[in-house]
Amino acid sequence: MTQIDHLVLFRWKQGADLAAIARATEALAQLPSQISGITAYVGGPQASPEGLGQGFDFAFRMTFTDIAARDAYLPHPAHKAVIETFLAPIIETALVFDIQH
């Protein structure tokens, strides 16, 4: 079975409210309890001393049991609600990269 690591990096909008960021990141962390097929989640603010973060402020990784679980997550109502309610108002840009292993 091929697992999928779903890597997402966010750049917050200039002046994004810290409380709104906290609500958004907490909502993301709750998705594994709402959507089957997610086996791991880790996320946090940029912490690298290398200076290569290209302005990205936050990243997370979700591990899915397989491609079908990732594909079910993308249109899932809980995922869409987090994007629309919490993330869309405060994200300037996002980068998504999935790794099969």
Q: Where are the domains of the chain?
A: 4-100
pLDDT tens, 9-20?
999 999 999 999
Contacts of 98 (CB under 8 A, 6+ apart): 4, 5, 6, 7, 70
pLDDT tens, 18-55?
999 999 999 999 999 999 999 999 999 999 999 999 99
pTM confidence score:
0.95
Q: What is the pLDDT of residue 1?
A: 73
**Mean pLDDT across the chain:** 97
Of 49, 72, 51, give the one whose Cα is nearest residue 62: 72
Q: What is the pLDDT of residue 80?
A: 98
- CATH class given for the domain over 4-100: alpha beta
